[in-house]
Amino acid sequence: MIEEILPGLYRIEIPLPKSPLKALNSYLINGQERFLIIDTGFNRDECLHPMLASLKKLNVDLSRTDFFITHLHADHSGLVATLATETSKIYFNKVETSIVSFEGSEGRWDGMFAFYLSNGFPLDEFKKAFESHPGYRYSPRKRVPFSVLGEGDTIDIDDYSFRCIETPGHSPGHMCLYEPSKKILVCGDHILFDITPNITWWPELKNSLNQYLMSLGKVYGLDVALILPGHRSRWDNHRRRITELYEHHRERLSEALSALGDGAKTAWGVAPYITWDIDCKSWEEFPPTQKWFAVGETIAHLDYLEADGRVRKDTKNHKVIYSLV
Ligand SMILES: [Zn+2]
């Protein structure tokens, strides 16, 4: 599905089969000389074919196309290695360049394995979660050369001048693009409207929830008339949504605290006490990958509470146990 949002600015909806996210919003700027594609879809045929069909309809010439990837998640980065040509520039953040593709980062998954087991995840469930994890299955398979951008750098294409804003939290190097004269904020998964962005534990990011909340504060003050998120529908009031997201995390923090009220627990033990927006009647019914995301998000909240001095973290018998201070 293609939608023309502004002259020369399109949204291409890329289906994400079997993902609760449903679809990815890829954005295309059709310039006089070059095209710019922002985010791409999973590295799988079910995303590649609709993408290629849409690019054909819009007469996009991939040999004159550059890419901006908001963050490493496979639904955003997956197809970039397939679509990019020798003349393409691929704009990306520095932190995630070494971990975005599967090649060279295989060992990282072993570290994930050990980490989640130490947080109480049962081995057999984690194996299932791992096999169906979209990052493991649908990341780019080969490394590509990136043009690294950081805070304040710009991408100019015709009368669009996008400025990079570093917004770590949802991922370690997440970046948004802001177009000040048109008041456009391309926000990847930093702000979503129908769903809340997953905030999880990252080896590269200390206290990810705190960083996320600070990154929300960073874009709050921007003058925005059009906000282009990575998934689902858009809305023009980013400030009201940021206020809701603050409230959402405050509620989760208090749920995590009350879960520890009747005794110390691992993150796996705390996760079922948290309210999750998922179509399942009980924690046991969650698909294994959703349990992974939920436990990761629980750890981010518990680490925030630990940094805040309200929760203590100890290791007993190779398990990380959280308790109230
Ligand atoms: Zn994401």
CB atoms within 10 A of CB 172: 20
pLDDT grade, residue 11 (50/70/90)? Answer: very high
Q: Ligand 1 centre from 261 Cα, in Å? A: 32
pLDDT grade, residue 279 (50/70/90)? Answer: confident
Q: Ligand 1 centre from 231 Cα, in Å? A: 9
**Helix (H) / strand (E) containing 24:** strand 23-30
* Chain segment 58-113, per-residue pLDDT in tens: 999 999 999 999 999 999 999 999 999 999 999 999 999 988 877 766 778 888 88
Q: Residues 6 or more apart from 289 whose CB is under 8 A from it?
A: 129, 132, 133, 134
Q: Do residues 65 and 87 touch, judged by C-beta distance below 8 A?
A: no
**Pick from 239, 234, 243: which is nearest to 221 by CA?**
239
CB atoms within 10 A of CB 196: 17
Query: How confident is the model at residue 18, as a pLDDT?
Result: 83
Mean pLDDT of 37-55: 97
Q: Ligand 1 centre from 73 Cα, in Å? A: 5
Q: Ligand 1 centre from 124 Cα, in Å? A: 26
CB atoms within 10 A of CB 57: 11
pLDDT grade, residue 49 (50/70/90)? Answer: very high
Share of the chain above pLDDT 90, in %: 84
Query: How confident is the model at residue 101, as a pLDDT?
Result: 77
Q: Do residues 181 and 172 touch, judged by C-beta distance below 8 A?
A: no
Q: Ligand 1 centre from 260 Cα, in Å? A: 29
Q: Ligand 1 centre from 87 Cα, in Å? A: 27
Query: How confident is the model at residue 100, as a pLDDT?
Result: 85
d(CA 260, CA 236): 38
Burial category of 198 from C-beta neighbours within 10 Å (exposed 0-12, middle 13-18, buried 19 and up): middle
CB atoms within 10 A of CB 41: 29
Query: How confident is the model at residue 111, as a pLDDT?
Result: 86
Q: Ligand 1 centre from 201 Cα, in Å? A: 13
Token pair listed for 211: 């960083």
- DSSP state letters, 86-122: TT--EEE-STTTTTSSSTT-HHHHHHHHHHHHHTT--
CATH number of the structural domain 2-324 = 3.60.15.10
The residue with greater pLDDT, 223 or 140, is 223
Q: Ligand 1 centre from 76 Cα, in Å? A: 7
Query: How confident is the model at residue 70, as a pLDDT?
Result: 98
Q: Ligand 1 centre from 92 Cα, in Å? A: 14
Mean pLDDT of 209-226: 97
Q: Ligand 1 centre from 264 Cα, in Å? A: 31
Q: Do residues 27 and 228 touch, judged by C-beta distance below 8 A?
A: yes
Query: Positive or negative CA dihedral for 108, 113, 118, 121?
Result: positive
Q: Ligand 1 centre from 240 Cα, in Å? A: 21
Token pair listed for 142: 């080969």
Tell me the average pLDDT of the chain: 94
pLDDT higher than 80, residue 168? yes
* Chain segment 109-147, per-residue pLDDT in tens: 888 889 999 999 999 999 998 888 887 788 887 788 999
pLDDT higher than 90, residue 320? yes
Q: Ligand 1 centre from 57 Cα, in Å? A: 27
**Degrees (nearest 5) of the Cα angle 289, 176, 182?**
135
